[in-house]
Amino acid sequence: MPNARKVLVLAAGGTISMKGELESGQNGVLPALDGEGLVEAVEGLSAFASVEGRTVVNKPSAHLTLDDQLDICRQARDAARRGTGVVVTHGTDSLEETAMLCDILHDAEAPIVFTGAIRPASAPGADGPANLLDAVSVAASAEAAGMGVLVCFGGEIHHARCVRKTDTVSLVAFSSPQVGLLGRVTEGHPIIWSRIPRNPPLDPPNLEKSVLIVPTASGDDGTLARAALSTDPDGVVIGTLGAGHLAPPVLELWAEAAEQIPIVAYCRPERGVILSSTYGYAGSERDLRGTGLIPAGFLSPQSARMKLLAALAAGLSIDEVRWAFRQDDG
C-alpha cells in the first residue's frame, strides 16, 4: 500500500501556473509559478498529506515536445514506484495526451492524478487552487490506489484512458463520453464509485517514431491519406465514419498500407466503438475488420496516437500492437 500521507506535486506549466493582465491591449498571461510556488499558494493541502512541489517544465502545454511529455511521465511513475502519491499540474490543451502516456507507463499502486486550470492564477475566481486541492486529496487517498492515472478537474474524477477536453472555457472542461465519471471530490473527500481495468504497462526508451492522425469526411477521395503515407510514417491513426465505415477506395488504400505498418482506426463519434458485423455494404465495418487495420476501441484519436507511439518505440510488432489495442476494443 502506498504512503497515502505523502504527495509530490510535479509542475509541468499550463494556465494553472500563469499570471498576467487579461485586459485587451495587455501582454496576456504567461508562465510564472513553479512547483513550489503552486504548493505555497494553496492553503489546506497539509490537511491531506505532506506535500512537496517540484518543477519538471514550465511551458504552455501546446509547446510541450514528446520528450517533455515522456520526462513528465517518467518522473511521475518513478515517484509512484516509491509509494508516493503524485499530482501533475499541466496545461489543458494537451493534458489528455500526457495523462494517457503516463497511464501507459504507470506500473505502481500509488495514484497519479493530473489537474490544471482554465483561469490563470491572477484571474478573479481562479480555479487552479481548488483543482490542486482536490487532486491532492485524491492522490493521498487509499481509495485511488491501484487505479492507474486519473484526471481531477472541476470536482470530477476521470480515468486517463477515457477523458477528453470537451470545453475550452468551462471550469468543468473535461468529460469521459464513453464511460462517464469515476467519482467526485465533495468537501475535500474523494468518492469513487467506478473503476477501469488497468492494462499491462509499456516502457518505451523514447518516442522517436512518426505517427500521424488522418481524419476522414464525406467525399474523401484518399488525397490526405496518400499525402500522409508519402511521409513514410511508422504508423498512422485514421478516422472512420459512423461505427467503422470508409469509402471503399480509401479503405483499400489503408488496408494495403496496413500490410507494412500498423494502421489504427477510430470512429468519429465520441461515443461507441467500431462494430463487427452489422452492415454488409462495401467499406463497412465487416470489410474493415477483414483487413489488417487495428480498431482503437473507445480511445480518442489523440490517445490512440500516444498508445501507438509508445508501442512502436517499445519495439512491438504489428501483431503485438494489435494485441495491445484489443484491450480497449469492446
DSSP label of 245: B
Q: Are 120 and 91 in contact (CB under 8 A)?
A: no
Torsion angle of the four alpha carbons 91, 96, 97, 98, in this order, in degrees rounded to the nearest 10: 60
Q: Round to whole Å and give the CA distance between 53 and 8.
A: 6
Question: Is beta strand 30-31 parallel, antiparallel or unpaired with respect to 18-19?
Answer: antiparallel
Give me the catalytic one of 15, 55, 84, 89.
Answer: 15
Pull the grid cell for residue 160.
Answer: 486517463
Distances (CA, A) of 42 to 47, 51, 169, 223: 11, 11, 22, 51
CA dihedral 317, 323, 327, 330 (to 10 degrees): 120
Residue 240 appears among annotated catalytic residues: no
Q: Contact 40/54 with Cβ under 8 angstroms? A: no
Catalytic annotation, residues = 15
